[in-house]
A and B are shown apart, each in its own frame.
Chain A
């Protein structure tokens, strides 16, 4: 105990840079948001009055928040499993020792260097009903691509956003899973091969279990990203199409130009804090749920 106390000052000193960043960029805004959540302010945010902590409950129960929550959850449900399966699939394909495989690895991981804005713009153009390449190529198959356009139809807008989002996250998933694959000892594959396991058995008995730490990590990150999706919504649909709110996620409800609660910083803050709690809960559930199934080395 004494020793621990003696070590405290130098330890704190060395933690100052990280703690400083954390305090300025995370802890302070969080505290402010929590505080604003139970206040009603005017537009200047100078004159505020306390409206009580049950504001959080009121916001949570409101139709606007519930609708946005549903949209956010749907988006997560569309993007996370598909993104994960595609990412693992690509990584396994690219994990072969073939000539020129480096080119594929680069291509598959390239979206990691693409911002949400760029990715969204790319998909916006691809899906554009008049000039979009996808609309031209596939409209025979999916007529909605031309009329009214995937992003302009309330039933297809969210899947279209999910598509862009999956594509944008694929590079990240690919890189993490690829790194996970490369740390799997080759001996395990060879041992399973000598014992007569075919490629499917090797995948389920060696690859997947050895990847569980990477898969957990990617799942948590992808889920958080989906729940925090804002950029692609703002650029692709503006929370719409039109007044349908079919793609109004919680972050769009908070920040969006067309948001219903556009000007009320109290309600926005309360929503943001609720979103934070939601992400936290999801991450905790995922860590616990995976729990014993995750194997870190031996």
Chain B
């Protein structure tokens, strides 16, 4: 499960409530069948990976990974064995004697993961664990996390503001905005049938074009069109002037200023491309139009 939303939407707070670091003012937190509102974090069968990794700088990698077991009074030999096992899963076995300060960002991140894995919790809680990594490492670690999720076969709750992470990693995505849950669904559902104009514009790069109230619809709806569904058509219902053409290789983004505001269309590079300054017309098939209530922003039909 991915919690996705812009900064300050409450996704981290929600995660911290599940962890027991914060108390919900209303509502219940269930883990499995059990209501855990009044339970201490240690009784919730969870492990958390922090954005900063929260490793103990004075402890070795081994001691860091063993710490949750030590707290639980697991005997020394067993502790060492389980820590080594967790370290092996993440390729850390050769770094066990180092301190976190002697590791790279990616390695530290793995230590934090190993420390979570070693507890064999029912739920893993991850608060933007990849946001301190560089782009390349982030991509690799993303794949590894998906693999890890499959192997461990337990629940991950994963907070991110990065829609690419959400779309590629999530079995389900919960999109949040301003403290409210906007939509829960598979990444495909969230993309194909966004429950609100907010979700529609938050997910997808470039974001969905949302037209002013009334255009291509009745006076109480806003119509949204994904850039890949907005077609160049000489008889199209929307007109505008091209002000930017972005060549991305496998696709071309055509940006136009129109009566409907700024529009973006994703175009096949093999087609007949307009140039900056051209007057163009756009259209889209009716079944590709998303309709949202003009006031609430919620999806209609």
| Chain B proximity of A210: nearest CB distance (Å) | 8
A201 shortest CB reach to chain B, Å:
6
Q: Which of A219-235 contact B (CB under 8 A)?
A: none
Among B50-58, B75-83, B249-257, the one that faces the other chain is: B50-58
A49 interface residue per 8 A CB criterion = no
Q: Is the interface of A mostly helix, strand, loop or mixed?
A: helix
Task: A197 to B52: give the CA distance in the assembly, Å.
Answer: 19
Bound form: Cα–Cα A205–B66 in Å: 13
CB pair B52–A185 under 8 Å, yes or no, is yes
Contacting pair B41 A193 (CB below 8 A) = yes
B58 touches A295 (CB 8 A): yes
* A15 interface hit (Cβ, 8 Å): no
Decide: B21 and A295 in contact? CB cutoff 8 A: no
List residues of chain A with CB within 8 A of the CB of B21: 190, 193-194
Q: What are the residues of chain B within 8 A of A206 when measuring CB–CB?
A: 56
Bound: A212/B67 CA distance, A? 20
Q: A206-B56, A298-B100 are in contact. Are A197 and B50 (CB under 8 A)?
A: no
Assess the B56–A194 pair: CB atoms within 8 A: no
* Contact residues, B70-98 vs A (CB, 8 A): 71-72
Q: Does A187 contact B (CB under 8 A)?
A: yes
Q: Which residues of A contact B58 (CB under 8 A)?
A: 209-210, 212, 295
CA distance A170 to B279 in the complex (A): 78
Interface of B is mostly: loop
Do A298 and B101 form a contact, CB below 8 Å, given A195-B67, A197-B71? yes
Q: How far is the CB of A36 from chain B (nearest CB, A)?
A: 47
Question: Shortest beta-carbon distance, B53 to chain A, in Å?
Answer: 8
Question: Which residues from chain B contact A194 at a C-beta distance below 8 Å?
Answer: 19-21, 41-42, 46-48
A298 in complex: contacting residue of B20, B57, B115, CB < 8 Å: B57
Cβ-defined contact, A196 with B41, below 8 A:
yes
Question: Is the Cβ of A297 less than 8 Å from the Cβ of B57?
Answer: yes
A201 to B59, CA, bound (A): 14
Say which size band chain A's interface belongs to: 20 to 34
Bound CA–CA A63/B72 (angstroms): 57
Q: A298-B100, A298-B101 are in contact. Are A191 and B71 (CB under 8 A)?
A: no
Residues of A within 8 A of B56 (CB): 188, 205-206, 209
B68 touches A (CB below 8 Å): yes
Q: Residues of A contacting B54 with CB < 8 Å? A: 185, 187-188, 190-191
**Nearest chain B residue, comparing its CB with the CB of A293:** B58
Q: B119 — which chain A residues lie within 8 A by C-beta?
A: 195
Taking a contact as CB atoms closer than 8 A, the residue among A191, A201, A297 that contacts B48 in the complex is: A191
Interface mask (A66-102 → B, CB under 8 Å = 1, otherwise 0): 0000000000000000000000000000000000000
* Measured CA separation A297–B115 after assembly (Å): 20
Contact mask for chain B residues 124-141; partner A; CB cutoff 8 A; 1 contact, 0 none: 000000000000000000
Assess A195 versus B42: contact at CB under 8 Å? Given A295-B58, A298-B55: yes
Question: B residues within 8 A CB of A295?
Answer: 57-58
Identity of the chain B residue whose Cβ is nearest the Cβ of A197 in the assembled complex: B71
Complex CA gap A35/B56 in Å reads 51
Question: Which residue, of B19, B50, B59, B119, has the highest number of chain A Cβ atoms within 10 A?
Answer: B50
Tell me which residues across on chain A come within 8 A of B41, comparing CB atoms.
193-194, 196
Contact assessment for B50 and A191 in the assembled complex, using a CB-CB cutoff below 8 Å: yes
Say whether B52 contacts A195, CB under 8 Å. no
Q: Given A190-B50, A192-B67, list of 20 further CB < 8 A pairs?
A: A188-B56, A190-B54, A191-B50, A193-B21, A194-B20, A194-B41, A194-B46, A194-B48, A195-B67, A195-B68, A195-B119, A196-B42, A196-B71, A197-B67, A201-B71, A205-B56, A209-B57, A209-B59, A297-B57, A298-B55
Q: Which A residues lie at the B interface, using CB under 8 A?
A: 185, 187-188, 190-197, 201, 205-206, 209-210, 212, 295, 297-298
